[in-house]
């Protein structure tokens, strides 16, 4: 536990938001490169592939504290392993999905495949009509069974894709049952206790941001 309490403490503490995102992307990129037989890589090569700068890559990778980086660049396998450790969910904690609408189903299908490390353990819905049939080969549980099943299966994180009007109610309910991380696709600001992490993803916002930026870019910079 006695880490070196030097000036800068970068080893695996709280990383910048942006860095976390890039590390996730580096990992998948590296995984692909590894499959293609690549064993070592320079910061400038990874930067080129990922569309950023060598300095950025090196700075990001400081968080991985990988050692073993000689003048022959980084060891791809080691890097992947280092990053993977950061994205591992506490053992025994599972991920649930709540809300089997369009987006929910898309996410189910998306992570049904062999996505590295991300497995959706169970699916729920507030709408009783949806809980009758199986969807994508999975049984959809009604929300009123959440408590029972949560106790049994130890859920840690939830993906929320319910209608806006239901979001806060569902959030309250699942937090009650021990959920500590929420990936929230609902465009509503959730109120949760301080020990719960909420990460918001807003599809409409993403469309609008692209529209704005494209429009702006057309107006201001057709020269470059």
Partner DNA sequence: TCGTGTGAAGTAGTTCACAGCA
Partner DNA sequence: TGCTGTGAACTACTTCACACGA
Residues at the contact surface with DNA, assessed by CB under 7 A: 6-8, 10, 16-19, 42-44, 52-56, 58-59, 61-62, 66-67, 69-71, 73-74
CA distance 126 to 160: 11
CA distance 218 to 210: 12
Closest to DNA by CB, 43 vs 184, is 43
- Phi/psi for 111 (5° steps) reads -100, 10
Partner touching 66 among DNA, a second copy, none, CB below 5 to 8 Å by kind: DNA
Closest to DNA by CB, 151 vs 206, is 206
Partner touching 94 among a second copy, DNA, none, CB below 5 to 8 Å by kind: none
> How far, in Å, are 51, 211, 218, 219, 221 from residue 224 at the CA level?
18, 19, 10, 12, 6
How near is the Cβ of 24 to DNA at its closest, in Å?
A: 14
Contact, 200 vs 181, CB < 8 A?
A: no
Under the rule (CB under 8 A), what is the footprint of a second copy? 13-15, 17, 20-21, 24-25, 28, 49-51, 86-90, 102-103, 105-107, 109-111, 115, 118, 156-157, 159, 180-183, 187, 189, 194-195, 197, 199, 201-218, 220-222, 224
**Of 1, 21, 175, 182, nearest in space to 87 by CA:** 21
Residues whose CB falls within 8 Å of the CB of residue 19, separated by 6 or more in sequence, listed in order: 59, 60, 63
**Tokens at 203, concatenated:** 């599809």
Closest to a second copy by CB, 28 vs 38, is 28
**Of 210, 113, 108, 207, nearest in space to 161 by CA:** 108
How near is the Cβ of 195 to a second copy at its closest, in Å?
A: 6
Closest to a second copy by CB, 10 vs 78, is 10
How near is the Cβ of 67 to DNA at its closest, in Å?
A: 7
Partner touching 220 among DNA, a second copy, none, CB below 5 to 8 Å by kind: a second copy
Partner touching 70 among DNA, a second copy, none, CB below 5 to 8 Å by kind: DNA
Closest to DNA by CB, 42 vs 89, is 42
CA distance 93 to 79: 25
Cα of first residue to Cα of last residue in the chain, in angstroms, is 52
Closest to a second copy by CB, 149 vs 201, is 201
How near is the Cβ of 214 to DNA at its closest, in Å?
A: 17
């Amino acid at each position: 536990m006695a880490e070196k309490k030097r000036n800068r403490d970068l080893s695996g503490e709280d990383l910048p938001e942006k860095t976390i995102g890039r590390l996730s992307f580096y990992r998948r990129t590296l995984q692909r490169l590894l499959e293609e037989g690549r064993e070592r890589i320079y910061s400038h090569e990874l930067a080129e592939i990922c569309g950023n700068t060598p300095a950025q890559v090196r700075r990001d990778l400081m968080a991985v504290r990988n050692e073993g980086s000689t003048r022959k660049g980084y060891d791809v396998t080691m890097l992947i392993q280092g990053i993977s450790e950061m994205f591992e969910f506490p053992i025994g904690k599972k991920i649930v999905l709540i809300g089997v609408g369009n987006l929910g189903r898309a996410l189910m299908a998306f992570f049904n495949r062999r996505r590295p490390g991300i497995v959706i353990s169970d699916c729920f819905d507030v709408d009783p009509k949806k809980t009758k049939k199986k969807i994508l080969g999975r049984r959809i549980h009604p929300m009123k069974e959440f408590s029972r099943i949560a106790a049994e299966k130890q859920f840690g994180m939830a993906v929320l894709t319910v209608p806006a009007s239901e979001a806060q109610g569902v959030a309250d309910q699942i937090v009650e049952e021990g959920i500590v991380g929420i990936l929230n696709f609902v465009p509503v600001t959730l109120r949760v206790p301080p020990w719960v992490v909420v990460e918001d993803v807003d599809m409409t916002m993403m469309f609008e941001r692209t529209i704005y930026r494209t429009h702006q870019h057309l107006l201001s910079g057709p020269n470059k």
